[in-house]
Amino acid sequence: MDNLTRKNNAFLSILLVIAIPVVIQNTLSIGLNMIDTIMVSKLGENAISAVGLGNRIYFIFTTICFGIYKSNCCNKQI
């Protein structure tokens, strides 16, 4: 039973190492998108649509890059 507890604790610590940066990155990305939209909101509907589309592409790109980076880091730890 003690061995199982150690394995669970090790898994949870690795999970937190992965999850905390992901949460921070996603929060910052959402904040950046919101600030971009607020800055462009005075320019009209087309500008807001363009910023929304650009933000979506940026989010997908950064999520993929972050996933690749973290998978490499996890492979080195295991």
Q: Is the pLDDT of residue 30 over 80?
A: yes
Instruction: Count how many domains the chain has.
Output: 1
* 30 in a structural domain: yes
* 48 in a structural domain: yes
Q: Are 41 and 48 in contact (CB under 8 A)?
A: yes
* 41 in a structural domain: yes
- Report the alpha-carbon distance of residue 34 to residue 54 in Å, rounded: 12
- Report the alpha-carbon distance of residue 73 to residue 58 in Å, rounded: 22
pTM: 0.56
Give the range of the structural domain holding residue 51, as residue numbers without chain letter.
Answer: 16-77
pLDDT tens sequence across 46-64: 998 998 888 889 888 988 9
